[in-house]
Chain A
Amino acid sequence: MGLGYLVKRLLTMIPVFLAVVTLVFFTIRFAPGGPFDGERKLPPEIKANLDKKYNLDLPLWKQYLLYMRDLSRFDLGPSYKHSNRSVNDIIGEAFPVSLELGLWSLFWALLIGVTAGGLAAFRPNSLFDYIPMSISILGICLPTFVIGPLSILVFGLWLGWLPVAGWDTPADRILPSMTLGFAYAAYISRLTRGGLMEIRTQDFIRTARAKGLKESTIILKHSLRGGMLPVVSFLGPALAGLLSGALVTETIFNIPGLGRFFIQSALNRDYTVVMGTALLYFTLIFVSNFLVDIFYVILDPRVRYE
């Protein structure tokens, strides 16, 4: 793998990042209302005092330059709503929660998805194939705001096995991460099945079979590595999606993650928090795709980047 390619790839991130900063900065500013608007309209003098305190009285281009200056020092600014915390504080507090939730979800998604997909590929067109694949269609179709409350009702209230909401005990992790991971498990199972089915027809598998190896060895040792390629390329966007797309799950289960801040800040016009979370999500998506590219090369000897 060419090191030059990687460096080039990383360098392309810079202009894209700048474009994203600029786009988000101006888009959110053009939304109606501002961070200090509320049911009780503020007397103009008080509004002016507030704007002055947060530099919102400056021309927009000056605010933009100020923001860029602070950003270059990794300072994402103060939150307009949570006045005793900076955006860095908020991300520092909430992102680890989202990260943990995302990793748990990914764990479930992989465990369930690869197992189900493997089984289906192992015995195609049998019940082992039909049942998991039908469930996976359900998982893809049902949104988290249906699965979440439903699972709370069943496992939290009726059966009483798991906590209904919160983020304290290990048990609190189960329902939300499964809810979030379910749709991804569904995709992964289908990708696994597809990948494995395709690889079954390859020459090296036929060779393995001709050598008289056991079917399970063929699947686990020979097919899985190549057959998992589609899954691997899905993992990048999946991880980014799990980390940035947890807002519904976080709200339903009252989890103090970054997704909730993302919605709240957009609704509150808390400009700096919107910016901070958006930039973090952008970076995550970029980095996870980048990592996938690297893994791809490691897994598939046919792939070379120039």
Chain B
Amino acid sequence: MSLRKLFSMGAVFLFLFSVSCTKKSSNQTQVLDKANGTELQDLDPHIVSGVPEHHVISELFEGLVTMDPKTAEPIPGQAESWTVSKDGKVYTFKLREGLKWTNGDPVVAGDFVYAFRRLVDPKTAAKYAYHGGYIKNGDAITKGKIKDLSALGVRAIDDRTLEVTLETPTPFFVPLTYHYSLYPVHQKTIEKFGNKWTLPENIVSNGPFKLRSWQLNKVLIADKNPTYWDAANVKLETVNFYPIENTDTEEKMFRAGKLHVGYEIPLPKIPHWLEKKDQIYHSPYLGVYYYHINTTKKALKDKRVRQALSLAIDREQITKNITRAGQMPATAFTPPGTGGFQPSVYLNPKVTPEDLAKAKKLLAEAGYPNGKGFPKFDILYNTQESHKKIAEAIQEMWKKNLGINVGLYNQEWKSYLANRQTLNYEVARAGWIGDYNDPLTFLEMYVTGGGNNDTGFSNKQYDDLVAKAKLEMDAKKRGEIFNQIEAILMDELPVVPIYIYTRTYLIRPEVAGWYPNIMDFHPLKFVSIK
């Protein structure tokens, strides 16, 4: 075959294929194409633990409450109303009338009882079992101290009345029921199919959408669920969730019109997209980016050293020049607005000359004048471009401002976690996204021996205040306690906050009902295509 022939044949092929593929456009009526990050582990609300899972499971299932798309505050879901006892420990939920599973069975209070018991059952091995730990005896059951599942503080008074008794008053329990770990599941389906119950041919669910198909690493398709109580108000007919871990690929798919909603923008492209205001979602997010300091290591044991390190970081330079998506420099550990709490300002966004002088003085007092004799250590971070750039910037700031030389050490995710969690590091990058909209999700981490403490930090006063905050029911008094907690944390600095996260991703202008909120919650029952 001659070269010319080959070329012309190729051209014909290309033409034919391009004709066949331009026919398919994602801009059809009420079909939403959404990027969804990494592939899901599963759809079992009691097995999974990730955020991409949340986006799908919260559409296939519905818990007692759902979220207001504008404020991310709980609004009635499967429960039409609820009451709380005076001591804040007993919640009584009234379910809607005529709720149905996708197979037509009625959704009853007993389904929630079964689900909550399944969550804490050691045999389920749920990663979020500790969410069931807020319920009376939940923790003891998970730990195997109580064998009888019926000891859990949850009961069905009748088919439409669910009573939940908690260990301690937990002011955020109602919003917590929006978390998938507290969704109802269909007992008969689980017992019949075992771990295969979440496959498309088996699954029974109760949310605004129902699963049509799920091909790993390709697409998960969900259709509007006609048996859902509010189906009349669900506008989308179909949602395609695409698992795409490569952000460049995702951005190109968006540009080619294959996606309505993205998941993440590649770092170098953020400034470019921020200019196209009608095609971008941009909102502060319930998360903080920070550095862990190992308080058990030689020089870092000294509070003054940690304070000097924090004072020498120019947070504004990092958000302006590196992350560039409008992140806020952190001035406290808890993101402002978490559960309505506004922490005082403890840290400066910029390094002022006074800060610099103070930092040098602190370091000298600790025995390292101008960084002399300071032990060499590495900043540990998990391999990723943005973490690297931030670590380099901080390395430079510490060198310039304090005369300290540190190295950089990147590791793949699991190795990094293993080192961080066994305190085999000096300074390590970290990030925390709140599990629920309350300061406790951030501040509870640093109690003595806390599972996610990872810094060796231990302070009696801190522990007592956290315990106090857990029992306090008055919002104003709680806020005061949280500020006392913050004051200790920002003085001791086992963690050095750097910036407050934003969520920034691509979204087409024709997507309606998608409002910015701190939780990045966008229940699709309120979303439509213009």
Contacts and interface: CB of A to CB of B under 8 A. Distances in A.
A46 B249 contact: no
A261 interface: yes
Given A41-B451, A43-B451, A84-B198, A251 B218 contact: no
Contacts of B70: none
Contacts of A208: none
Interface in B1-40: 1, 3, 6, 13-15, 17-18, 20-22, 24, 38-40
Interface in A133-190: 149, 152-153, 156-157, 160-167, 169-172, 174
B320 interface: no
Given A40-B452, A115-B1, A254-B244, A169 B24 contact: yes
A85 B245 CA distance: 20
B216 A33 contact: no
Interface string B443-459: 00000000110100000
Contacts of A251: 245-246, 249
Interface string B411-439: 01111011101000000000110010000
Given A45-B122, A45-B144, A49-B125, A90 B216 contact: yes
Interface in A110-144: 111, 115, 119
Contact of A171 (B17, B124, B252): B17
B130 interface: yes
A306 interface: no
Contact of A84 (B3, B22, B44, B124): B44
Given A41-B451, A52-B125, A83-B41, A256 B414 contact: no
A35 B146 CA distance: 28
Given A49-B123, A163-B256, A39 B249 contact: no
B242 A264 contact: no
A264 B246 CA distance: 12
B127 interface: yes
A119 B126 CA distance: 63
Interface in A232-252: 251-252
B215 interface: yes
Contact of A156 (B124, B127, B252, B418): B252
Given A162-B21, A164-B253, A165-B249, A93 B216 contact: yes
B49 interface: yes
The binding surface of chain A is classed by DSSP as loop
A290 B335 CA distance: 61
A82 B412 contact: no
Nearest to A156: B256
Contacts of A169: 17, 20-21, 24
Contacts of A171: 17-18, 20-21
Interface string A25-50: 00000011110111111110110011
A104 interface: no
Contact of A37 (B38, B40, B245, B418): B418
B216 A82 contact: yes
Contacts of B313: none
A31 B256 contact: no
B114 interface: no
Contacts of B491: none
A3 B451 CA distance: 63
A82 B42 contact: yes
Contact of B127 (A34, A50, A252, A254): A50
Given A163-B256, A252-B246, A32 B218 contact: no
A107 to B, nearest CB: 12
Nearest to B14: A161
B506 to A, nearest CB: 14
B42 A83 contact: yes
Interface string B185-228: 00000000001111100000000000000011110000000000
Contact of B256 (A78, A157, A170): A157
A134 to B, nearest CB: 15
Contacts of B17: 161-162, 169-171, 174
B97 interface: no
A40 B49 contact: yes
A81 interface: yes
A45 B144 CA distance: 8
B258 interface: yes
B253 A267 contact: no
Contacts of A41: 421, 451-452, 454
Given A46-B125, A83-B44, 9 more contacts: A38-B417, A46-B126, A84-B42, A93-B215, A164-B253, A165-B249, A166-B258, A260-B245, A264-B38
Interface of A: 31-34, 36-43, 45-46, 49-50, 52-53, 78, 81-85, 90, 93-94, 111, 115, 119, 149, 152-153, 156-157, 160-167, 169-172, 174, 251-257, 260-261, 264, 267-269
Closest 8 CB pairs of A and B: A33-B414, A171-B17, A256-B218, A256-B217, A32-B418, A49-B125, A50-B125, A171-B21
6 contacts: A34-B414, A43-B142, A50-B127, A165-B258, A171-B18, A255-B217
